[in-house]
Chains A and B, each alone.
Chain A
Amino acid sequence: GDSVTQMEGPVTLSEEAFLTINCTYTATGYPSLFWYVQYPGEGLQLLLKATKADDKGSNKGFEATYRKETTSFHLEKGSVQVSDSAVYFCALSRGAGSYQLTFGKGTKLSVIP
């Protein structure tokens, strides 16, 4: 079945450091890929998405590129802020019209001043 593997946390960075959170997936066909973010005490929010190979999703300074050859969708940000402290989830759906999301286990990021 489908699965998503993301790097274990927690990750602690200093403000303005570079962030990478690795995500790889296993799925048949051509899934859509997502990063969701969960701020403390809140529900999940979509951060960015990519629906086909080589697409780059971006939002709020975060980026991720859909790499089909390596089945990866790594999240990056050039300069993190304290306000980026949250749990980040990589997820996939099977594609067009698919209802179900398969999530990774989440990576907790803490950014210290």
Chain B
Amino acid sequence: ETGVTQSPTHLIKTRGQQVTLRCSSQSGHNTVSWYQQALGQGPQFIFQYYREEENGRGNFPPRFSGLQFPNYSSELNVNALELDDSALYLCASSLGWRTPYGYTFGSGTRLTVV
């Protein structure tokens, strides 16, 4: 059983650029959610995808967007990067949404915006 994998592990971008982060869900999981973790803070929910459709979104602007593919892998896209977007981005997969079964997290992508 493979876990959640994220790529790349580290990334440096310039303010105003666009970035795509990738996530492969754990085998058998059909739901992927993304979180942003600033230094010293708990992770903040960005959005969630269930069977290729976004079905939940946190308090993030539209320049944060995503996709889920038929194999349940996912992408997080951030346009017009700002310095405050520098953070650890975490992907989690689960079996269903509104689930009692919990979430499995990847190791994260560290994004630095300069």
B partners with A: no
Chain B positions near chain A (C-beta within 8 angstroms): none
Binding site for B on A (CB under 8 A): none
